[in-house]
Amino acid sequence: MKIVIAGGGIGGMTLALSLLDAGIADVEVFESSSSIKELGVGINVLPHATRELTELGLLDDLYATAIPTGELAYYSKHGQRIWSEPRGLAAGYNWPQFSIHRGELLGLLHRALEKRLGAPRIHTGHHLSSFGEQGDRVWAEFTDRHTGASHGRVEADLLVGCDGVHSVVRRALYPNEGPPKWNGVTMWRGVTVGTPFLSGRTMIMVGYFARRVVIYPISRRLEEQGKALINWVAEHKTAEDQPMPVQDWEHRTEPEEALEPFRSYVFDFMDVPALIRGADAVYRYPMVDRDPLPTWDFGRITLLGDAAHPMYPVGSNGASQAVIDARVLARELVLQLSVGAAVAAYDAARRPATAAVVLANRKVGPEQCMEIVEERAPDGFTDLSAIIGQDELEAISRSYKQTAGFDPAVLNNRASLSVRR
């Protein structure tokens, strides 16, 4: 069985590793960029995804690079703590939660894949330009995006579009869908070298959806030096009728632009304007997603990760859901009797599950508690329990974990997704 993967991001790399682990060896990855660039800033690997990466033998690599997040805390725009909860092992999961540089996560997946699959089967500079079916095979054509030169045609039993939010595969399957949907929120992202804050392994969110910062440390190496590489995302909702900022993960801008809405976010536990000013580079990106699709089941063609279900970065789930997709697809390709049956089973398992996360994220997911406090106590509070009860706070946190598939009891007790042909 030959599988062609279009897109060498986190989803594509994890799929290739999962297929190899499941005993499916005839795999090729085609990545549009001219090299596997370790780009991006911070990203989270939640315990349900860590479980899968552990089963792929990558736990030590994650520990060597990432910060095992121990706590998540939400604050109002006045810096008043609303809710905090233990995370990862501290929360009773059998697997840690990691905060990591996206580029380093991609790098460790890539290195593992080079060892297990071999570099010649990871084709960079190969942009999927067209594909189709012929008999019981699928074909895919690739070009060099810079020169326009053709790399020719590859045939396979299955083509998986892991080609991100601007997926060529998705656009061909759903030609009338149009561009991703912007919700009016601009995100500025960066990393700043600083000193450890709070527990040293705490992730914080401050403000409310329209004016929010998310901050967490991401580097084990700096932690060992007594410092912190602090990832931050500053999000500000502007008028929805303004033009959408350019959708390019590498688009750089000035720190002053990012910190303007956050000048008052100076607290004893974090000076947000200073953090933003301290970044080497500031990247701007619009917060976008797409509507859930009616099917990903196109027989010998399917979608995975952001190509299948781009979601708002609420609840830190984008990369984790791509990892789970990869593991489930590999598993079904072993368990089912045909590629068609495997794609149907994958679609049935993952599409409704990820659609629920996309929709929950539109309703601000677990961060609802910040919205409630902003709405009920915009000038601050003296007694939090008069604003929002402990039960309500717990219910918000629990409900999102159930929706996104990382309720601790369910995750710890469910069967492994690992299978072997």
Ligand X SMILES: Cc1cc2nc3c(=O)[nH]c(=O)nc-3n(C[C@H](O)[C@H](O)[C@H](O)COP(=O)(O)OP(=O)(O)OC[C@H]3O[C@@H](n4cnc5c(N)ncnc54)[C@H](O)[C@@H]3O)c2cc1C
- Positions in the binding site for ligand X (CB under 6 A): 6-12, 30-33, 39-41, 43, 102, 127-128, 162-164, 168, 189, 249, 305-307, 313, 318-319, 322
Shortest CB 311 distance to ligand X, Å: 8
Listed residue (312, 217, 207) closest to 261, CA to CA = 207
Shortest CB 131 distance to ligand X, Å: 10
SS3 107: helix
Q: Which is nearer to ligand X, 22 or 324 (CB)?
A: 324
Shortest CB 322 distance to ligand X, Å: 4
Q: Which is nearer to ligand X, 189 or 300 (CB)?
A: 189
- Which residue intervals of 245-317 are DSSP H helices? 255-259, 272-277
Shortest CB 196 distance to ligand X, Å: 21
Question: Which residues share a beta bridge with 271?
Answer: 266
Q: Which residue is nearest to ligand X (CB)?
A: 9
Q: Which is nearer to ligand X, 164 or 194 (CB)?
A: 164
How many other CB atoms sit within 10 Å of the CB of residue 269? 14
Shortest CB 381 distance to ligand X, Å: 31
Q: Which is nearer to ligand X, 82 or 222 (CB)?
A: 222
Q: Measured between alpha carbons, how far is 302 from 162 in angstroms, rounded to an integer?
A: 9
Q: Measured between alpha carbons, how far is 206 from 79 in angstroms, rounded to an integer?
A: 7
SS3 42: strand
- Going by DSSP bridges, is the β-strand pair 71-75/202-208 parallel, antiparallel, or unpaired? parallel
Shortest CB 253 distance to ligand X, Å: 15
Q: Name the burial class of residue 308, with classes exposed (0-12), middle (13-18) and buried (19+) by CB atoms within 10 angstroms of its CB.
A: buried
Shortest CB 168 distance to ligand X, Å: 4
Q: What are the E-state strand segments in 195-280?
A: 202-208, 211-217, 228-237, 252-253
Read off the tokens for 320.
């984790």
Q: Which is nearer to ligand X, 373 or 400 (CB)?
A: 400
Q: Which is nearer to ligand X, 308 or 344 (CB)?
A: 308
SS3 127: strand
Q: Which is nearer to ligand X, 168 or 222 (CB)?
A: 168
How many other CB atoms sit within 10 Å of the CB of residue 382? 8
Q: Measured between alpha carbons, how far is 259 from 256 in angstroms, rounded to an integer?
A: 5
